[in-house]
Amino acid sequence: MKVAFIGLGVMGYPMAGHLVKAGHEVTVYNRTTAKAVSWSEAFNGQYADTPKQAAQGCEIVFVCVGNDDDVRQVLTGENGVFSGLTKRSTVVDHTTASASLAKEMHDVANEYGIGFIDAPVSGGQAGAENGVLTIMCGGEQVTFDKVQPVMDAYARFSQLMGDIGSGQLAKMVNQICFVNAVQGLAEGLNFAQHAGLDTDKLLATISKGAAGSWQMDNRGKTMCDREFDFGFAVDWVRKDLGMAFDEAENLGVDLTITKQLDNYYEEVQALGGNRWDTSSLIARYKKPE
């Protein structure tokens, strides 16, 4: 297909590259043009000066930007995606944004005769680079069926969760669950280090039992070594959690423990860890001498 990809951050850059490798004709747009030029040279693709230009003639446009306002700007702003697409084309928004934003953009897309799917992803930078992301989608079945085979270029699993906004709600659950898993791992490993245990042996052992998790397998050793350069930044997880708190308030749902973890991430930011990855919760604890 002829497709476009808007946003070439740590996730979008490799995701767009996988689309080229899968045989699609890809045009990209990025706010910083130099990044788009670099991508086009790396993947032999095209780049455009505006989202509208990138979208022209495309069947599907993928978006992966920072937040609600960024999505509005690239889709509905001057020279936005919607103004460049024809009827019966589709926009897939991979941004982790609010469920209300998804519904808002879906309504605007309908006015243009364009399909819309909210499709936040999980798997981090490594998942994007290796083409093994998990995608949670909200929208109509017929629209999902159209885009799923194309998303397979960078996904190991994608699921339609329900109506528009359901993908974003599922992503909120994902964020709630994983930050709680990280904190449990941080507390346990801090305990182990102060108890003088060999953490390599410990991780090799308890990862085989009920305590095992993706976080333990992929971040346990680096947490012990206080290495936090693995992509998904503290600033971004706090943005995501903020949206979950807003939604929880609307639903009357208790997120007391997750709010405490958000406070812990604020402490990490105060340590200068805004761009550290989310496993940096252990940085709150002093490593034994």
Q: Give me the active site residues, please.
A: 171
Q: What are 253's strand-pairing partners? A: none
Round to whole Å and give the CA distance between 50 and 202. Answer: 52
Q: What are phi and psi of 91, to 5 degrees?
A: -110, 130
Burial of residue 216 (CB within 10 Å: 0-12, 13-18, 19+) is buried
Q: What are 30's strand-pairing partners? A: none
* Contact criterion met (CB below 8 Å) for 16 and 39: yes
Query: Residue 283: what residue type?
Result: A
Round to whole Å and give the CA distance between 153 and 160. Answer: 17
Round to whole Å and give the CA distance between 115 and 92. Answer: 8
